[in-house]
């Protein structure tokens, strides 16, 4: 999927394997997986329902001054509920296997028994390999001239429960 650069954006991140190779395009505002380890897409809709929670992306911050970035990602997930208490989770991508970024928000919320709150997902570029297998870092340049730099992406999202649960019906 591609997203119009002038519209609000959400981000969907699905982890499949620990190592991630991705390309971010600021022109089309998409991040494309190179080997299907991750599926990362910017979506046109900034609000949708997942796992019984309505999730809205309140802001997406990405600091990336280069045309593309390829590398691995680790996740630092910070969840703050409506009462202001915060839970910080550091997870390797393998720990998020099969979960989207928003799905993780909803799952944490459900486990905490919270009905609403705000969450933040941060993805940070570490390092990667180019097409020839050479290690690239934030000081490296790819053979096609694209620079691989430090990549930080922060997604702030708010969520609220849209389906009832544990009300005696089940």
Q: State the pLDDT confidence band at 160, using cuts at 50, 70 and 90.
A: low
How far apart are the two ends of the chain, measured CA to CA in Å?
Answer: 37
Written as one string, the DSSP assignment of 111-162 is HHT-SEEEEEEEEEE--EE-TTS-EE-TTEE-TTS-EE---EEEEEEEEEE-
Question: At residue 84, does pLDDT exceed 50?
Answer: no
Residue 138 in tokens: 């934030």
Question: At residue 162, does pLDDT exceed 60?
Answer: yes
* Mean residue pLDDT across the chain: 44
* Residue of 88, 86, 77, 53 whose CA lies nearest to 158: 53
Each residue's pLDDT tens digit, 57-80: 444 433 332 222 333 333 333 333
Each residue's pLDDT tens digit, 16-56: 433 333 344 434 444 443 332 233 333 334 454 544 555 55
Yes or no: say if 48 and 41 are a contact pair by the CB < 8 Å rule. no
Residue 54 in tokens: 């309505």
Q: What is the pLDDT of residue 80?
A: 37
Q: State the pLDDT confidence band at 4, using cuts at 50, 70 and 90.
A: very low
The three-point CA angle 75-81-86 to 5° equals 55
């Amino acid at each position: 999927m591609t997203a119009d650069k002038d519209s609000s954006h959400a981000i969907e991140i699905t982890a499949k394997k620990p190592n991630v190779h991705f390309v971010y395009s600021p022109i089309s505002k998409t991040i494309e997986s190179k080997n299907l380890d991750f599926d990362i897409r910017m979506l046109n809709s900034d609000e949708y329902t997942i796992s019984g929670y309505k999730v809205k992306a309140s802001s997406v911050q990405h600091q990336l001054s280069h045309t593309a970035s390829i590398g691995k990602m680790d996740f630092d997930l910070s969840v703050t509920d409506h009462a202001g208490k915060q839970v910080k989770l550091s997870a390797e991508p393998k720990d998020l296997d099969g979960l989207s970024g928003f799905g993780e928000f909803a799952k944490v919320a459900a486990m905490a028994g919270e009905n609403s709150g705000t969450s933040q997902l941060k993805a940070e570029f570490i390092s990667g390999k180019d097409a020839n297998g050479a290690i690239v870092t934030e000081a490296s340049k790819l053979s096609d001239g694209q620079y691989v730099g430090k990549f930080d992406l922060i997604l702030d999202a708010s969520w609220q429960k849209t389906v009832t649960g544990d009300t005696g019906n089940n």
